[in-house]
Amino acid sequence: MEPNRLHEAPSATTVLPMPRLLPVPLVLATCLAVAFSSLSAASAAGPGRAPWVTASTTTSITLDWPGGSSGYRTFYATSYSGVLTSSTAKKSAGSAVRITGLKPGQMYCFQTATGSGANRSQRYCHSTMRHANRSSQTRVGIATFNVCGVANGCRSWRPREDAVIARIREARADVVAIQEGSSVLGRIARRLTAHGYALASASSTEGVFYRTSKLAQVTTSSTETVCEDETVPDEVDTSTWDTESGTHTDTDGVTWTYDGVEWAREVCEPVTTTTPVAGTFRLGGAATATWARLRVKKTKKSYVFVSAHLTAGKSAGNARSRDGETRRLITKAKDEANGVPIVFAGDFNSHRNRPNDSPRLRFERAGYRDAYDRSARYSKAYINSYNGYEKRPVRGVKYGDHVDHVFLHSRTGADSWAVVAPTRGGRNVTPIASDHNLVRVTALLP
């Protein structure tokens, strides 16, 4: 958990230069100065704010932005700097556009402008899907939620608990990965039981919950021989048994042993123990994770679901720590999965706007992609997954500053990606559940 502020100021804060004015009365000059100081590219009939993704395919991206019904142009290029001078644009009558003819797996950057091409907005970048989704794959709703249970900067839990449960219920996910659940995981588990969820695994801070109507916990059985001493029943007359020899075989062929106090025999039998396939990982420092293997009841297919929380901080040292933690996380999870597909969810405290987005880079080298780059549909992609308890939603620019992620194998797609954050009148609905917003993905698993 950490503040996740925007990396560039909104264009509405950019002040246009003051024109040269003839001498005028002081009052009039003051009024003009105020008027010009509030004028910006955003207020001069242009879109102002960056567009955001609402849909994607391997060759197209659909965008939306705050605006009216007048004509717009959306400029695009394959680099953040290149879009500033790009003349390649798509016209649209309203504040939405679908841009086609793009390359699979390619990052594109966009700027919206008025129909004349003036007053360009902030820039936003998003990649096309690398692979098309396969409708035959298994749909599993996955939520990741840092609930800020007990940690520095977390507000009192009790006033927020109902809101936390409400966000989870609104997400309607099949698997829920919780982070920062210190001291509150038990309360969350009791509340979610009434809504059809069970706790599959937990560390001291993370938890993996699953919807019992959709999935089942995978278990393993082990059998061992357990032996216990059994004394002679009280009704058996042992007065004639030879205590000197220390042994006696009865008429049923059972041999009893005398220990100086009583006659007894050793009885051994096999005992089978069933345990869930689940556990926890120590990743270095304070970084931890929990995992569980779950089976989709309808398809009988099993998957390993991980809830992780990496080191916070924006320094180069923090990025190096997260790189090592991610490497260990992937290695440990693969060892436990033994070939079963893995879904990594959690608070990774990193995003593309950081100088070194080490978790994403490490996952990509291991063959995993952020579901944010692999989804066909999006909802509220412009709202950061970190909200900092701000009254107004924190908006991402450039790539979207989401520190909470779901990583899927590169051949695995997602049908939808969403930030679950209710707003009313442009403000976050209170009480705000956590300083993070819940992220919900519908993964299409093999």
- Domains of the chain (ranges plus CATH)? 11-127 (2.60.40.10), 138-218+277-445 (3.60.10.10), 222-273 (no CATH)
Q: Are 391 and 427 in contact, with CB atoms under 8 Å apart?
A: yes
> Among 307, 388, 323, which residue's Cα sits nearest to residue 355?
323
Q: What is the pLDDT of residue 69?
A: 67
pLDDT on residue 89: 95
By C-alpha distance, which of 227, 241, 229 is closest to 265?
A: 229
Residues facing residue 144 across a β-bridge: 177, 439
Residue 223: CB atoms within 10 A of its CB come to: 9
pTM of structure: 0.81
- Which amino acid is it at 290? T
* Alpha-carbon gap, residue 384 to 334, rounded angstroms: 30
pLDDT on residue 68? 72
Q: What is the largest CA-CA distance in the chain?
A: 130
Q: How far is CA 291 from the centre of its chain?
A: 14
> What pLDDT is attached to residue 136?
87
What percent helix, strand, coil does the chain show, rounded to 5? 15, 35, 45
Cα–Cα dist 161/101, whole Å: 47
Q: In which residue ranges of the chain is pLDDT below 70?
A: 1-48, 69
Tell me the C-alpha to C-alpha distance, in Å, between residue 189 and each of 142, 150, 168.
17, 16, 12
DSSP state of 60: -
| The two structure tokens encoding residue 131 | 């692979």
Three-class DSSP category at 375: strand
Phi, psi of 39, deg, nearest 5: -80, 140
Task: Round to whole Å and give the CA distance between 284 and 238.
Answer: 63
User: In sequence order, what are the residues at sequence separation of 6 or more whose Cβ sits closer than 8 angstroms to the Cβ of residue 362?
Assistant: 323, 326, 327, 330
76-90 b/e (C-beta count within 10 Å ≥ 16 → b): bbeeeeebeebeebb
pLDDT at 49: 85
Q: Report yes or no: 387 and 443 within 8 Å, Cβ to Cβ.
A: no
- List the beta bridge partners of residue 292: 278, 305
